[in-house]
A and B are shown apart, each in its own frame.
Chain A
Amino acid sequence: MTSPTDRYEMVVGLEVHVQLKTRTKAFCSCSTEYGAPPNVNTCPVCLALPGALPVLNAEAVRLAVLTGAALECSIECTSVFARKNYFYPDLPKGYQISQYDKPLCEHGRLQIGLNADAQPIVIGITRVHMEEDAGKSIHDRYAAATAIDLNRAGVPLIEIVSEPDMRSSKEAGAYLRVLKQILEYCDVSDVNMEEGSLRVDANVSARLRGETKLGTKTEVKNMNSFSGVERALESEFARQCAALDRGESIQQQTMLWDGAKNEVRPARSKEGSHDYRYFPEPDLPPLVLDQSWIDEIKKNLPELPRARRERFGTAYSLSPDDADALSASVALAEYFEAVARASDDPKAAANWVRGTVLATLNASSGDLRNFPVRPADLAQLIKLVRDGALSNSAAKTVFAEMAATGERPDAIAHRLGVLQERDEAAIEQWVTDVLAEHPAEAQRYLGGEKKLQGVLVGLVMKKSGGRADPKRVNQLLSARAAG
């Protein structure tokens, strides 16, 4: 008998909240800086003092439109803000300003990879709308009270709602990773799940394979990593499958993920008790955008990960694997490209960046933005190797020094005395000396025992302290054997 999870299919839609990277809040001029002392970044507007009114941040609109465009949404010239009413102490006005029936962006799509038949897997984006964040409630700080910090209240968010198009936790994970990459490429958010600048809620249901109707879904919340989302989905899916197998029906409810216990459990809330009483926000007229302004943003959309990947493949003849790895982040892609251009050797640049650069960064948990090895310097190092001035092993030594000091490679190579000797006479002399010092091997080699050439090259290299160009040494030895 097959297991329930084989007989049922998982259906997932994701709601992703993303904090936009603005200097000030969505509806007031308070700073969005993270980590300020409690309630310092608050004003009459975000404290919801009587009589205060919201005024929308232009940059938040630009970033939201940019995201919508990157997700291939249609951007609405007229969208409307609405109030979502509910009481919670970190929601100062008693309502959240959001968008409801007229969102800014609709009907987008996101390609998250290829399926087994090499066909693209495309997930529909239902909508991208603007809203404001709530503050923070801290429950474990004081014994008898919950502490409220409103610094985050009013920080601009977008909510990206997908269609229920994902069929596995793996696809959900891929969707999130691709989405995060696009948000990074567009520079609209810090997309940091730990700091809460990206939050994910998942809607999941199960249905028998072959069934076309959607099953009853539950909403899973409280995940704090992408892998947490994947595990929570598996866990909730298994729960639903087991229930369906027992002939039970699924209750529409909210489930909370407990990462430590690796399980979901129902949030105890009354059915139908949520009644947000949405209505158009009367303090804000409709948001009306110029089509030409929207077009301008679309036109100036940064190159997105998929396009960059493809370009890396064609322009630099990188393997799909290299192209993928080197376009993982904007910083890495730009670094690689700078090295590739300056060195005029994309293959070597790819090898260096994927290998030594990333290894060095990982070892030091460093960040490419303040990495001491500048692209131009790495390019110079690549050229030194290509020109035969540095051996590969010497280049590794020089690179380590560059990463430590930020010095230029030629200066380091000079200082360490590892530049390869290009003086013909000096190399000739080393060859002559080695043959003289190892007469038995010399005799056998010159007598036609070609396989000894490698040993002799090694000896010459050793004698030269690595400075002899091995290619030249080989040539000289061959010439003598032939001569």
Chain B
Amino acid sequence: MAVTRDDVAHIALLARLALDEARVPALTAQLNGILAHMDALQKVDTSNAIPVAGVGDAGMPLRADQGPPIPLARPRDTFAPAVRDGFFLVPRLATHEDAAGEVVE
């Protein structure tokens, strides 16, 4: 399975990474180099593998439905890049921008 430059552009979009055009060929080659080593996995029969259980054997612990929440030692506006009236601000969206970053009016 070889990664194409289009694949790299697609996954960069999914990961919200803007890649320098000049870097794409090298990155594509590197990813293919790494993925070539992964092909060894395809030859392994995993049909009888018992999934890693580890500490999760007994299932996840649950918490009681009560507070207080874990406190913040500093107010939100001390670490947030843009805050107004208590809201976090991001660049204006028309009314909706979907998961792929396509603007929906």
A binds B: yes
Q: Which residues of A are at the interface with B, using a C-beta cutoff of 8 A?
A: 22-24, 28-31, 37-45, 47, 52, 55-61, 78, 86-89, 137-139, 141-150, 256, 267-270, 273-277, 284-289
Per the bound structure, the CA–CA distance linking A269 and B64 in Å amounts to 41
- Given contacts A78-B59, A286-B60, A86 and B92 within 8 Å (CB-CB): no
**A288, B58: Cβ atoms closer than 8 Å:** yes
Per the bound structure, the CA–CA distance linking A30 and B87 in Å amounts to 17
Q: Which chain A residues border B63 with CB–CB below 8 Å? A: 29, 55-58
Per the bound structure, the CA–CA distance linking A396 and B86 in Å amounts to 53
**Stretch touching chain A among B18-26, B33-41, B42-50, B96-104:** B96-104
Per the bound structure, the CA–CA distance linking A162 and B1 in Å amounts to 37
Q: Which chain A residues border B101 with CB–CB below 8 Å? A: 87
Per the bound structure, the CA–CA distance linking A365 and B2 in Å amounts to 67
Q: Which chain A residues border B97 with CB–CB below 8 Å? A: 88
Per the bound structure, the CA–CA distance linking A55 and B63 in Å amounts to 7
**B70, A147: Cβ atoms closer than 8 Å:** no
**A22, B65: Cβ atoms closer than 8 Å:** yes
Q: Find B70's partner among A23, A29, A150 (CB 8 Å cutoff).
A: A29
**B94, A23: Cβ atoms closer than 8 Å:** no
- Given contacts A37-B86, A145-B82, A58 and B70 within 8 Å (CB-CB): no
**A39, B99: Cβ atoms closer than 8 Å:** no
**B62, A61: Cβ atoms closer than 8 Å:** yes
Q: Which chain A residues border B65 with CB–CB below 8 Å? A: 22-24, 57-60
**A47, B76: Cβ atoms closer than 8 Å:** yes
Q: Which chain B residues border A45 with CB–CB below 8 Å? A: 69-70
**A285, B55: Cβ atoms closer than 8 Å:** yes
- Given contacts A43-B71, A145-B89, A286 and B56 within 8 Å (CB-CB): yes
* Best-buried of B58, B98, B104 by chain A (most CB within 10 Å): B98
- Given contacts A39-B87, A285-B55, A268 and B69 within 8 Å (CB-CB): no
**A56, B62: Cβ atoms closer than 8 Å:** yes
Does B6 reach chain A (CB closer than 8 Å)? no
11 new A-B contacts at CB < 8 Å, known A39-B87, A143-B92, A268-B105: A29-B70, A31-B69, A39-B86, A89-B88, A146-B89, A147-B88, A267-B96, A267-B104, A268-B102, A285-B56, A286-B56
**A273, B99: Cβ atoms closer than 8 Å:** yes
Q: Which residues of B are at the interface with A, using a C-beta cutoff of 8 A?
A: 14, 16, 55-56, 58-72, 76, 82, 84-105
Per the bound structure, the CA–CA distance linking A149 and B95 in Å amounts to 15
Q: Which chain B residues border A40 with CB–CB below 8 Å? A: 86
**A147, B99: Cβ atoms closer than 8 Å:** no
**B69, A139: Cβ atoms closer than 8 Å:** no
Q: Find B103's partner among A22, A29, A55, A268 (CB 8 Å cutoff).
A: A268
Closest residue to B11 on the A side, CB-wise?
A275
- Given contacts A44-B70, A88-B99, A38 and B60 within 8 Å (CB-CB): no
**B60, A139: Cβ atoms closer than 8 Å:** no
Per the bound structure, the CA–CA distance linking A28 and B71 in Å amounts to 11
Q: Find B92's partner among A29, A41, A142 (CB 8 Å cutoff).
A: A142
Q: Find B62's partner among A24, A57, A86 (CB 8 Å cutoff).
A: A57
**A30, B69: Cβ atoms closer than 8 Å:** yes
**B86, A145: Cβ atoms closer than 8 Å:** no
Q: Which chain B residues border A58 with CB–CB below 8 Å? A: 62-65
Q: How far is the CB of B53 from chain A (nearest CB, A)?
A: 9
**A44, B86: Cβ atoms closer than 8 Å:** no
Q: Can you give 11 contacting A-B residue pairs, CB < 8 Å?
A: A24-B69, A29-B63, A37-B86, A61-B62, A87-B16, A139-B95, A269-B98, A274-B99, A275-B14, A276-B99, A288-B60
Closest residue to B54 on the A side, CB-wise?
A285
- Given contacts A58-B64, A269-B100, A288-B59, A148 and B88 within 8 Å (CB-CB): yes
Q: How far is the CB of B9 from chain A (nearest CB, A)?
A: 13
Q: Which chain B residues border A42 with CB–CB below 8 Å? A: 76
**A268, B104: Cβ atoms closer than 8 Å:** yes
Q: Which chain A residues border B98 with CB–CB below 8 Å? A: 267, 269, 273-274
Q: Which chain B residues border A275 with CB–CB below 8 Å? A: 14
- Given contacts A28-B70, A273-B102, A284 and B60 within 8 Å (CB-CB): yes
Q: Which chain A residues border B105 with CB–CB below 8 Å? A: 268
**B87, A138: Cβ atoms closer than 8 Å:** yes
Q: Which chain A residues border B60 with CB–CB below 8 Å? A: 56, 284-288
Per the bound structure, the CA–CA distance linking A28 and B88 in Å amounts to 20
Q: Find B76's partner among A39, A142, A146, A270 (CB 8 Å cutoff).
A: A39
Q: How far is the CB of B65 from chain A (nearest CB, A)?
A: 4
Per the bound structure, the CA–CA distance linking A55 and B77 in Å amounts to 26
Q: How far is the CB of B8 from chain A (nearest CB, A)?
A: 14
Q: How far is the CB of B97 from chain A (nearest CB, A)?
A: 8
Q: How far is the CB of A370 from chain B (nearest CB, A)?
A: 26
Q: Which chain A residues border B16 with CB–CB below 8 Å? A: 87
